[in-house]
Chains A and B, each alone.
Chain A
């Protein structure tokens, strides 16, 4: 009998207690020139042009936590980060004490071919192309007004999982071993790399989507 009780207590500790000690929250902070982005607000850029963001939405997935070079835990889920829904900026209760975090910006190819999915991956979220099946990894919409006063609206819908136009990016960040993490996502560099006159709309998978996705991947920092 004692053995049974022992097993129960032991598994209880394993399931709940152990998990709690390694639970961490990750928060994303999308910003421009170190200012947190609020939708429909105008921000000044270094070249004195003005930018307004109306939509900023992206998927992060496959969180892998490493400690001293060894994989500790992995969470294959995908999360939709949406500035319109501030709660989505924090991902709570991920398991993993770590000194290195690797995750994907976007949705991997196996998920892209898995058929209909629920939750954050429900096509109703507006992050799915139906005519060319696949998730939109990243959506940024808004407008930029240059110093001569000319306003350029832009829409970047970046996605595509088939080679040679795979847009998913692997982000790797080192950090100190504490129980919460805030990831800065400052898109200034991304914005400054774009020629808005030439490229104001990207709505399909292709070389431009790949190039812009790579540029985005460099914007994540602790």
Chain B
């Protein structure tokens, strides 16, 4: 009897060893939270960060196979060098040049975002990607069809097997792969960050210091450090575009007090993420500062407190601008790990 047990134990060990040899586990990598930053919203609980998953998500992000006629990839509207937004377009255009109704948002520090889209309608990073794939003005495809194309491709099933242990590509593995790439787009190495970390030889100029002070007094309520955003919605008093007719958060909650409120965008890399606002109406950062200085109509019902015309002097405007430029993170914008996979 004892011998039999030993024999069984021996056989099971061999079986386990064999299965390990044939099943290579994906390589777990660490998600680095910058010092003194809050805990990320995305938990990785059901989608551990792996090198294979990240690289697969990256390949998918740059692959037009996700669009109906294979002309548009995620990167078409989210370019790395401009903070992963669609530079120079007030609203983005997708397949066949069709125009959407909103300025494509930046993909920066998404791990800390609790909602997505300008109206916050999307509640989880993993389900976000279905929107551009199926939107008629973006990629205009159907999930079923995209999965069919991916499953039929010569490269993807193998890559999904490496990343998720199974060749069959499903909505879930597709979305998880895309998430592992987009969640990894962390920008935390701007001049601002270096000054805050007290790195040797990096200091704010007097103008930048003045700008930071102004920023903390007037802007930081919504654009809160270190993420330069906050997880709420705000009305900044912009009047509704008569063609786009965007009601913002109200479209999701149907709560009248949410009318014309929009998600607060991060200001990281704001130097390169033009044009600005949900409908991209301001081409230059200067225009945005001028708007908050003198353009706001204080009588508007949907203006979030404590917004009011700040009436900055010319010097103050320059100070503020020079501070905002310290949020540029070249190491992020030119990080080869995020770029088109060769």
A interface residue numbers (CB < 8 A to B): 1, 4, 112-118, 122-124, 128, 130-134, 162, 165, 204-206
B282-322 CB mask vs A (1 if < 8 Å, else 0) is 00000000000000000000000000000000000000000
At the interface, is chain B mostly helix, strand, loop or mixed? helix
At the interface, is chain A mostly helix, strand, loop or mixed? loop
Q: CA separation between A65 and B24, bound complex, in Å? A: 42
Q: CA separation between A1 and B1, bound complex, in Å? A: 8
B interface residue numbers (CB < 8 A to A): 1-2, 5, 46-47, 117, 121-127, 130-131, 134, 143-144, 147, 170-172, 175-176, 179, 252-254
Contacts of A132 in B (CB 8 A): 121-122, 252
Determine whether the beta carbon of A116 is less than 8 Å from that of B171: yes
Contacts of A123 in B (CB 8 A): 127, 130, 143, 171
A9 to B: closest C-beta gap in Å: 15
Give the residue of B1, B123, B176, B254 whose beta carbon is less than 8 angstroms from that of A206: B254
A162 to B: closest C-beta gap in Å: 7
Determine whether the beta carbon of A122 is less than 8 Å from that of B130: no
Closest 3 CB pairs of A and B: A115-B126, A116-B126, A133-B123
Contacts of A205 in B (CB 8 A): 254
Q: CA separation between A117 and B46, bound complex, in Å? A: 10
Determine whether the beta carbon of B131 is less than 8 Å from that of A130: yes
Determine whether the beta carbon of B122 is less than 8 Å from that of A115: no
B78 to A: closest C-beta gap in Å: 18
Contacts of A130 in B (CB 8 A): 122, 127, 130-131, 134
Find the A residue at minimum CB distance from B121.
A132
Determine whether the beta carbon of A124 is less than 8 Å from that of B143: yes
25 contacts between A and B (CB under 8 A): A1-B1, A4-B5, A113-B123, A113-B124, A114-B46, A115-B46, A115-B47, A116-B124, A116-B171, A116-B172, A116-B176, A118-B171, A122-B172, A123-B143, A124-B144, A124-B147, A130-B131, A130-B134, A131-B117, A131-B121, A131-B122, A132-B122, A133-B121, A133-B122, A134-B123
Determine whether the beta carbon of A122 is less than 8 Å from that of B123: no
Contacts of B143 in A (CB 8 A): 123-124
Contacts of A4 in B (CB 8 A): 5
Find the A residue at minimum CB distance from B130.
A130
20 further A-B pairs in the complex, CB-CB below 8 A; given A123-B127, A123-B130, A130-B127:
A115-B46, A115-B124, A116-B126, A116-B175, A116-B176, A116-B179, A118-B171, A118-B172, A122-B170, A122-B172, A124-B171, A128-B127, A128-B130, A130-B122, A131-B122, A131-B131, A132-B121, A133-B121, A133-B127, A205-B254
